[in-house]
């Protein structure tokens, strides 16, 4: 018995490592955590007689490092728009075969083309768009109009938070002043710096995670936040929590589906992207991730409580105020310098 | 005589720092609130979600397979390395000792990158097998060190006696030396198992498509998952498993110790 046990264990390990059983093609996805409805994944597996394996990353940079190092042989990955550009420049992506993506052609909503960084969609298909706005407690803000200027409002002193993200936070200040989110004009940036410093005196903290807790419990009244995150909290307490798209303008960001060079299941990858753009599937997925896929016919299929929630599906009027964040390359340093000043000033 | 309260205070502080986080984590896994800030009531909902989360289980099985495989391989390699180091005291063995010792002090991130570079250089696709190789690489050192310390107390005349009584080299090793070394090997193996199952840095580099382990998965969940409490549940389950494992190994060692005097 003593000699058999290691032998059995060894055989088991070897068998698992080499992958026994009937050989099915496997599609490898590399995406954000909980970013796809698992029911759709099993439906895709059945429809295409394949297996889908999902690995997750926590940031674009993590994913990028992995792909650059050559240890990520994935078939479909889900980077943000600016990262798509960088990867395309580095020749890491395959051009998509549009003839294999009839659903994308049929259902993509052109209304969103303006806020997508790569609307030509040579390498990418938009997966989900989120916005940065303000989460607020309907029961505690009274009649006040919620906009970026609310962070100056003494009524909310010590009960609001801004994001701890230099592009987003300085971007909000730039919008308040009527400038572009992507400006590289140092005079404009200096004015924005002064605005954020003024806000800093009035807010409780800069924070990316805990603000949701604060808003949910009512401890905080206002919080700059991402629409996808806030929509999840709103669904739990729709009576008290709202999401405002500031009058002055706000940022939009998009995660996309791309096929990297070196993908092994290219045909299956196309089938997967096409599958996700089927209006029924897309509608299910929008409900799961609480962020919009720019799929015209899927939006019509959403249940009322999702369709009427602007944090998930903003109206075209709201959309017209959105501006997409671009990667500024070397000019990023201008922003991080100002951010350092803001962080260092008491 | 009045006893000095200072040691007692330190004891409670240390215990508090060690175990309070675990208690908070376990309690939060039953918390109705999704954000864990406040207690909103008892629920088993997160455990239900954990059971249904297919991806977590795939990662869990990956972690277990790799840990078991790496433990087994490093126990065999580590024990033989320790035997060689113990038996010969030549200059070559000094180099050998240095080589075995190095992975204990080399920063993990260096090891991860160098392993990844090696794998890509020889054109090996990353996956479970590369994680297995990487984990075995660093686990061997730990097992070797543990077995080596056990060998330091080992009475070599026992083997000579066995050989005198007619046992050949193989039998004397199998029937005399191995049973006496077993507690050392097992504790080295347990160390290797725990190191392998929670390794993040090295695994991050050498993991390939479809080979996410639990630590990799938890890390990506922390920032973006809308169901954070599921991580608390998962950690609680892993803690329980660890406790069971530790208790089992303790019980195993007790049995060994009770048996030895009767035989001897």
CATH topology of domain B54-224: MetI-like fold (1.10.3720)
The residue extents of the domains of chain A are 4-129+253-314, 131-252+322-344
Residue A281 phi, psi dihedral angles, 5° rounding: -65, -45
Of A35, A57, A217, the CB nearest to B37: A217
Q: Are strands A250-258 and A322-324 parallel, antiparallel or unpaired?
A: parallel
Would you call B225 helix, strand, or coil by DSSP?
Answer: coil
pLDDT attached to residue B36: 62
The residue extents of the domains of chain B are 54-224
Pick the CATH number of A4-129+253-314 from 3.40.190.10, 1.10.10.10, 3.40.50.720, 3.30.930.10: 3.40.190.10
B123 interface with A at CB cutoff 8 Å:
no
Q: Which helix (H) or strand (E) holds B126?
A: none
* Whole-number Cα distances in Å, A84 to A80, A115, A130, A250, B174: 6, 15, 16, 22, 59
Tokens of A139: 């029961």
Q: What is the pLDDT of residues A257-281, one digit of tens each?
A: 999 998 999 999 999 999 999 999 9
Residues in B touching A13 (Cβ below 8 Å): 65, 68-69, 72, 132
pLDDT attached to residue B262: 45
Q: What is the mean pLDDT of residues A304-314?
A: 86
Is the backbone of residue B234 left (phi > 0), alpha (psi -120 to 50) or beta? alpha
Mutate to test the interface with B, among A70, A78, A312 (most CBs of B within 10 A): A70
Q: In 3-state terms, chain A is what percent helix, strand and coil (to 5)?
A: 50, 20, 35
ipTM: 0.77
Subunit contact B209:A13, Cβ cutoff 8 A: no
Q: What is the pLDDT of residues B211-223, one digit of tens each?
A: 889 888 888 887 7
Subunit contact B65:A73, Cβ cutoff 8 A: no
What is the pTM assigned to this prediction?
0.81
Tokens of B225: 């998952």
| Rounded Cα gap, residues A130 and A116, in angstroms | 11
pLDDT attached to residue A1: 43
Structure confidence at residue A329 as a pLDDT band (50, 70, 90): confident
* CB-based burial label for A191 (10 Å; 0-12, 13-18, 19+): middle
| Rounded Cα gap, residues A131 and A314, in angstroms | 9
The DSSP code sequence of A152-185 is G-GGGTTSEEE-S-HHHHHHHHHHHTT--TT---
pLDDT attached to residue A2: 47
pLDDT attached to residue B258: 62
Inter-chain Cβ pairs, chain A and chain B, closer than 8 A:
99
Of A55, A57, A290, the CB nearest to B209: A55
Residue appearing with tokens 């998009």: A254
Q: Residue A218 above 80 pLDDT?
A: yes
Subunit contact B37:A213, Cβ cutoff 8 A: yes
* Whole-number Cα distances in Å, B235 to A30, B108, B213, B238: 24, 23, 14, 5
Under 8 Å between Cβ of B10 and B24: no
Whether A4-129+253-314 and A131-252+322-344 share one fold: the answer is yes
Give the count of alpha carbons within 13 A of B9, CB side only: 4
Print pLDDT tens along chain B (264 aa): 677 889 999 999 999 999 999 998 888 888 887 766 677 788 888 898 888 888 888 898 999 999 999 999 999 999 999 999 998 888 988 899 999 999 889 999 999 999 999 998 898 888 899 999 999 999 999 999 999 988 988 888 888 899 899 888 889 888 888 998 988 898 899 889 988 988 999 999 999 888 889 888 888 887 766 677 888 888 888 888 878 877 877 776 666 666 554 443
Under 8 Å between Cβ of A52 and A44: yes
Task: Identify the CATH number of the domain defined by range A131-252+322-344.
Answer: 3.40.190.10
Under 8 Å between Cβ of A57 and A63: yes
| Rounded Cα gap, residues A99 and B150, in angstroms | 67
Residue A258 phi, psi dihedral angles, 5° rounding: -135, 160
Tokens of A36: 């796809």
pLDDT attached to residue A96: 95
């Amino acid at each position: 018995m003593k000699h058999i046990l290691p032998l059995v264990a060894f055989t088991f390990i070897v068998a698992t490592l080499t992958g026994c059983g009937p050989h099915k093609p496997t599609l490898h996805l590399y995406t954000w955590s909980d970013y796809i409805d698992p029911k759709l994944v099993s439906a895709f597996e059945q429809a295409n007689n394949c297996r889908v394996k999902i690995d997750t990353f926590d940031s674009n940079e993590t994913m990028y490092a992995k792909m650059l190092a050559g240890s990520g042989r994935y078939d479909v990955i889900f980077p943000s728009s600016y990262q798509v550009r960088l990867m395309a420049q580095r020749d890491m992506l395959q051009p998509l075969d549009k003839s294999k993506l009839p659903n994308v052609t049929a259902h993509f909503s052109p209304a969103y083309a303006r806020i997508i960084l790569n609307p030509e969609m040579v390498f990418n298909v938009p997966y989900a768009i989120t916005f940065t706005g303000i989460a607020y407690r309907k029961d505690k803000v009274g009649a006040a109009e919620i906009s970026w200027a609310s962070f100056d409002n003494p009524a909310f002193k010590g009960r609001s938070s801004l994001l701890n993200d230099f592009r987003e936070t300085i971007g909000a200040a730039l919008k308040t002043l009527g400038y572009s989110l992507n400006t590289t004009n140092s005079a404009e940036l200096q004015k924005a710096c002064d605005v954020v410093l003024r806000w800093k005196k009035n807010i409780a903290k800069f924070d990316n995670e805990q603000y949701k807790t604060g808003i949910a419990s009512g401890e905080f009244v206002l919080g700059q936040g991402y629409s996808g995150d806030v929509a999840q909290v709103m669904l739990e307490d729709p009576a008290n929590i709202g999401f405002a798209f500031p009058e002055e303008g706000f940022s939009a960001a998009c995660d996309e589906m791309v096929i990297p060079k070196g993908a092994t299941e290219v045909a299956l990858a196309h089938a997967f992207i096409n599958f996700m753009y089927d209006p029924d599937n897309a509608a299910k997925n929008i409900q799961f991730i609480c962020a919009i896929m720019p799929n015209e016919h899927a939006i019509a299929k959403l249940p009322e409580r999702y369709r009427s929630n602007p944090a998930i599906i903003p109206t075209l009027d709201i959309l017209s105020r959105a501006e997409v964040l671009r990667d500024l390359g070397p000019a990023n340093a201008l922003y991080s310098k100002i951010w350092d000043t803001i962080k260092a000033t008491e | 005589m009045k006893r000095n309260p200072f040691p007692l205070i330190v004891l409670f502080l240390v215990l508090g720092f060690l175990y309070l986080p675990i208690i908070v984590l376990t309690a939060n896994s039953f918390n109705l609130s999704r954000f864990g800030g406040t207690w909103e009531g008892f629920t088993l909902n997160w455990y239900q979600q954990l059971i249904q989360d297919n991806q977590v289980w795939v990662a869990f099985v990956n972690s277990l397979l790799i840990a078991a495989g790496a433990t087994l391989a490093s126990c065999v390699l580590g024990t033989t390395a320790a035997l060689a180091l113990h038996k010969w005291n030549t200059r070559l063995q000094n180099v050998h000792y240095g080589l075995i010792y190095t992975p204990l002090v080399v920063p993990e991130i260096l090891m991860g990158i160098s392993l990844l570079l090696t794998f890509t250089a020889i054109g090996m696709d990353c996956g479970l097998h590369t994680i297995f190789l990487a984990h075995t690489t660093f686990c061997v050192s730990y097992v070797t060190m543990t077995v080596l310390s056990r060998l330091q107390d080992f009475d070599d005349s026992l083997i000579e006696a066995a050989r005198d009584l007619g046992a050949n080299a193989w039998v004397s090793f199998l029937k005399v030396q191995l049973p006496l070394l077993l507690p050392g090997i097992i504790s080295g193996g347990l160390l290797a198992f725990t190191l392998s199952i929670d390794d993040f840095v090295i695994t991050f580099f050498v993991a390939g498509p479809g080979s996410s382990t639990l630590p990799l998965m938890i890390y990506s969940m922390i920032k973006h998952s809308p169901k954070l409490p599921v991580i608390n549940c998962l950690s609680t389950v892993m803690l329980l498993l660890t406790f069971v494992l530790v208790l089992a190994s303790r019980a195993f060692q007790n049995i060994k110790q009770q048996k030895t005097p009767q035989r001897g």
